[in-house]
């Protein structure tokens, strides 16, 4: 009996011990890494568990604010969180931004934020797992047939699958949007130029389009105008992608036929908000509704 109790106690302890949050550094300067390592050691003494990983499948990717580094991290990001260390207080890249200088107290607060967000995300994933079904003994009385009305497939709760076309000459942006669209339950095709996009829409019909403004060859405004000339795409949502948006840019986009804008680098939360709004419109007014 004592052996069984000890075994049960060990199992309980393991279940109660929080899993470590893994962190992968991508192109982060040595001095910045050293600061994070000191903070991780200190956090361990306070019961916050972090571990450094060489895998891009880690819970958190940490990079600097150079464009090439951000694009590299985004290209490897697949549902995990991206933290960008920056000299610019206006930096909006990534899910979390940490401004230099990397004071220990500032890094500690950021690590606490990471711990809360990742912990909530993991709890949410666990809570969505199905509850095991208990099979009733054969001797029990069978329940009476249900009289509930079956909701038809046209119910608003039914999630429809949509096909998006992403038009952008940046491989990193195309990869990021592929991941974001997959998270939203959508499929995606890709084009690297306006000319290629026009060939694709001639052969296939898409439910929504993400269109970069600055591209080699014809730009996004002209591409959008050409797309709108096709009767099938008169009302198709077209989301313009731009590094900067000014009132003039937005006016030009509206005149060309754009539905809305997303600023690059695209932030996960903003992207999901926009796609959720567009999905609701497609469910209600789209051609397949």
- pLDDT tens for residues 57-91? 988 999 998 888 888 889 888 888 899 998 887 78
Show the 3-state SS of the chain.
CHHHHHHHHHHHHHHHCCCCEEEEEECCCHHHHHHHHHHHHHHHHCCCCEEECCCCCCCEEEEECCHHHHHHHHHHCCCCEEEEEECCCCCCCCCEEEECCCCHHHHHHHHHHHHHHHHHHHHHHHHCCCCCCCCCCCCCCCCCCCCCCCCCCCCCCCCCCCEEEEECCCHHHHHHHHHHHHHCCCEEEEECCHHHHHHHHHHCCCCEEEEECCCCCCCHHHHHHHHHCCHHHCCCCEEEEECCCCHHHHHHHHHHCCCEEEECCCCHHHHHHHHHHHHHHHHHHCCCC
Per-residue pLDDT tens, the chain, 289 aa: give them: 444 344 444 444 444 445 788 999 999 999 889 889 888 887 776 677 889 999 989 889 999 988 888 888 898 888 888 999 988 877 878 888 888 888 777 888 888 888 888 877 666 554 544 544 444 444 444 444 433 333 333 333 335 789 999 999 999 999 999 999 998 889 999 999 999 999 999 999 999 999 999 998 999 999 999 999 999 999 999 999 988 767 777 778 888 899 988 888 888 888 999 999 999 999 887 765 5
The 10s digit of each residue's pLDDT in 175-213 is 999 999 998 889 999 999 999 999 999 999 999 999 999
The CATH architecture to which 163-285 belongs is 3-Layer(aba) Sandwich (3.40)
Instruction: Assess whether the region 18-120 and the region 163-285 belong to the same CATH fold.
Output: yes
If one looks up domain 18-120 in CATH, what number appears?
3.40.50.450
Query: So where are the chain's domains?
Result: 18-120, 163-285
């Amino acid at each position: 009996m004592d052996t069984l109790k000890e075994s049960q106690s060990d199992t309980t302890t393991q279940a109660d011990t929080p899993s470590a949050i893994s962190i992968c550094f991508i192109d982060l300067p040595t001095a910045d890494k050293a600061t994070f390592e000191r903070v991780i050691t200190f956090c361990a003494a306070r019961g916050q568990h972090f571990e450094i990983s060489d895998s891009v499948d880690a819970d958190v990717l940490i990079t600097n604010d150079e464009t090439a580094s951000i694009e590299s991290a985004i290209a490897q990001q697949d549902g995990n969180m991206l933290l960008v260390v920056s000299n610019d207080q206006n930096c909006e890249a990534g899910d979390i931004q940490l401004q230099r200088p990397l004071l220990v107290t500032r890094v500690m607060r950021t690590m606490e934020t990471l711990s809360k967000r990742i912990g909530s995300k993991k709890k949410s994933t666990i809570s969505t797992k199905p509850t095991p079904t208990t099979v009733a003994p054969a001797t029990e009385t069978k329940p009476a047939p249900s009289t509930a009305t079956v909701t038809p497939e046209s119910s608003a709760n039914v999630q429809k699958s949509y096909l998006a076309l992403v038009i952008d000459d940046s491989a990193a942006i195309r990869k990021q949007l592929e991941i974001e669209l997959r998270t939203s339950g959508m499929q995606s095709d890709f084009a690297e130029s306006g000319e290629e996009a026009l060939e694709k829409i001639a052969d296939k019909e898409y439910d929504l389009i993400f269109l970069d403004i600055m591209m080699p060859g014809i730009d996004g405004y002209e591409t959008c105008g050409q797309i709108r000339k096709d009767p099938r795409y008169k009302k198709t949502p077209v989301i313009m992608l731009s590094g900067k948006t000014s009132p003039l840019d937005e006016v030009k986009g509206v005149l060309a036929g754009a539905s809305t804008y997303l600023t690059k680098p695209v932030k996960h939360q903003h992207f999901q908000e926009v796609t959720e709004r567009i999905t609701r419109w497609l469910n209600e007014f789209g051609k397949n509704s």
